[in-house]
Amino acid sequence: MLDRIKASLPSLAPAEQRVGKLVLLDPRSFASLPVSTLADRAHVSKPTVVRFCRSMGYDGLSDFKLKLAGTVSEGVPFIHRSVDADDKVSDVLVKVIDNTVAAFLKYRNDASTHAVEKAVDALLATYKKRGRIEFFGAGNSGIVAQDAQHKFFRLGINAIAYSDGHMQVMSASLLGPGDCVVIISNSGRTRDLMDAADIARKHGATVIVITTSGSPLAQAGHIHLAADHPEGYDRYSPMTSRLMHLMVIDVLATCLALRIGGATLQPLLKEMKNNLRSKRYA
């Protein structure tokens, strides 16, 4: 959460930047002090404090302080432990799992429920209008896009995934109002994905981006689901970031399934399961 605030400071208004710096200076105090005291210390108005919290993707000051308190008192600070060339198998096992667990706990504390709700609302609106939901990603994120397509089409949704840049641009050109595209990127700087996001927005489609805060792609979508993780992808293929993206997709798919309702989905899933029985050994 603190990393995301630090990365987002340059894009905030000057008054909101002062609130952000106050958070970074003493997060424990910020989580416990009343809004009037926070406003005085940051030399801003009380509404500015609330605006800052909403700019960061939270419902308001209470939601922000709750997540902030969880971050500073969780007792599991995130320490990225890079795998070294001389590590034993036991070292690699511990480091990879510890990185993943720490990143998941960090995401649990940092995640903006407001942003997730907005994303689920957009996906549900597209589902009800029988619009298209598409998933774009490149490289490792392309694999996440394919997994997302698999999860969503099982819910009876018209979903498709593209990992090829040319296909993404062509498909984005065919999207329109009522359609939705989810763009996944670890770096948030892939040119093809940026182009596809701009084209989809131009044509009136809702653009949801799952990427790191402060990146160009984070600013290109209508809804940003932050997935921040300081992974050393300059040395190794991204691992934890990919798992985080898969987790975000799981959250979206689960929330959407609950919104659609069991009465609609249960018969569909039951028939699908019955039809698959012949594909398995007894």
Give the confidence band of 59 by pLDDT, cuts at 50, 70, 90: confident
What pLDDT was estimated at residue 236? 52
- For the domain spanning 2-73, the CATH number is 1.10.10.10
What pLDDT was estimated at residue 75? 46
Q: What average pLDDT does the segment 117-122 reach?
A: 96
Give the confidence band of 79 by pLDDT, cuts at 50, 70, 90: very low
Asked if the model's pLDDT at residue 237 lies above 70, the reply is no
Q: Is the dihedral angle over the CA atoms 110, 135, 209, 100 positive or is it negative?
A: positive
Q: What average pLDDT does the segment 214-226 reach?
A: 93
Compare 108 and 74 and report the one with higher pLDDT: 108
The pTM of this model reads 0.69
Give the confidence band of 80 by pLDDT, cuts at 50, 70, 90: very low
First to last CA, the chain: 48
Contact 256, 103 (CB under 8 A): no
Asked if the model's pLDDT at residue 138 lies above 50, the reply is yes
Asked if the model's pLDDT at residue 77 lies above 50, the reply is no
Superfamily of domain 113-268: Glucose-6-phosphate isomerase like protein; domain 1 (3.40.50.10490)
Q: How high does pLDDT run on average in the chain? A: 87
Closest CA to 134 of 161, 101, 168, 107: 161
Q: What average pLDDT does the segment 183-196 reach?
A: 94
Asked if the model's pLDDT at residue 154 lies above 50, the reply is yes
Q: What average pLDDT does the segment 110-127 reach?
A: 93
Residue ranges covered by each domain of the chain: 2-73, 76-110, 113-268
What pLDDT was estimated at residue 72? 65
Asked if the model's pLDDT at residue 233 lies above 60, the reply is no
Compare 88 and 182 and report the one with higher pLDDT: 182
What tokens were used for 181? 């595209």
**In this predicted model, what pLDDT tens digit does every residue of 194-205 receive, in sequence order?**
999 999 999 999
